[in-house]
Structure 1
Amino acid sequence: MNLVTPELGLIFWQTVIFLIVLFLLAKFAWRPILSSLKERETSIENALRMADQAKLEMQQLKASNEKLLAEARLERDRILKEASAVATQHIEEAKNKATEEGNRMITQAREAIQQEKNMALAEVKNTAAQLSIDVAERILRRELTDAPAQQQLVDSYLKEVKLN
């Protein structure tokens, strides 16, 4: 039972040893331990602050990237619209040019046809005139083979000349 109930001397020495250990720990161990704890606390706070700052920077970068992406999409859409407009314009210009060229060719064809028609009409007139002259010449040869008919024709021409 001796072991369960300590004597007064044992309690005294245990208290003295405890106070000496407490003094030694306070003098030599507590300050380094507390300073290392303080440093650790500071480093943890700095790490947390830096983590928050990194998180904010990441959010800002993400927002910036999204903004750049949206701007790029808008630019792409604008370029596509411009390209579509230019393509439409080129198609319209090609259509107009083809229409103008077709109209010009039709006009030239009409003019060529008109010239051919005029040339054909002139040739028909010349042929008709030549035939008329040939017919008239044959008729006059038959009728003017005798001298009195020739004299009568000359007299009628002279009368017509005097009247005009």
Structure 2
Amino acid sequence: MEQLLENFSLDLFVKQTILFLILIFLMVKYAWKPITKALNEREEGIKSALDSAEEAKKEMENLQANNEQLLKEARAERDALMKEAREIKDKMISDAKDEAKEVAAKLIENAQASIEQEKQAALSELKNQVAELSIGIAETVVKKELASKDDQLKLVEGLLQDVTLK
């Protein structure tokens, strides 16, 4: 430190002080305003970026709430459609069962009517055969011209045993 004091020059000190003050004056006049302006612009940019980020965050929250609402509505609509589809399925099954019952009842009714017709036809044919047999027996009896009733009865009984129903 003593060496510094020995080499100290007042003239040099004054010159350096004046140059330093001029440098500060020039810096304040020409460089200070652009530097502060750049710093202020940067600060404003950061503030606007933060504000935009906050807005984006709020918008994302709103979108998320809207998405959740849409999901709830979609689920409710899906459930309603599924319920409606089940009801339609049950109705179709019920209608098909009812229709099958009606068709079965008609088939049974038609079958019973057909059986009754066949039965009537068979009885009619049986009556015709019995009538033909009776006529055949009567012809035979008349041809023989039997005198006694006993002979006629024996002949009829013999013919009945010989004849089989067709």
**Same fold at TM > 0.5:** yes
Q: How many residues align?
A: 145
Distance apart, 1:133 and its partner CA: 4.6
SS in 2 for 1:39: helix
Show the counterpart of 1:62.
64
- Structure 1: runs of 5 or more not aligned: 146-164
Change in Cα spacing, 1:3 to 1:24, as seen in structure 2 (3 Å) is farther
- How many percent of aligned residue pairs carry the same amino acid? 44
Matches within 5 A, 1:39-118: 39-118=41-120
State the alpha-carbon separation in 2 of the partners of residues 3 and 69 from structure 1: 84
Counterpart of 1:93, as a letter, is D
State the alpha-carbon separation in 2 of the partners of residues 84 and 144 from structure 1: 90
Matches within 5 A, 1:1-164: 1-5=1-5, 12-135=14-137, 142=145
State the alpha-carbon separation in 2 of the partners of residues 8 and 80 from structure 1: 100
Q: TM-score, normalised by structure 2?
A: 0.69
Encode CA deviations 1:96-132: one digit per residue, 9 max, x unaligned.
Answer: 2222111111110000001111121222233334444
Counterpart of 2:29, as a letter, is K
State the alpha-carbon separation in 2 of the partners of residues 114 and 68 from structure 1: 68
Aligned CA RMSD, in angstroms, stands at: 2.9
Counterpart of 1:107, as a letter, is E
Show the counterpart of 2:156.
none
Which structure has more relative contact order (CA 8 Å, sep 6+)? It is 2
Comparing 64-73 and 133-142, the one that deviates more? 133-142
Counterpart of 2:62, as a letter, is Q
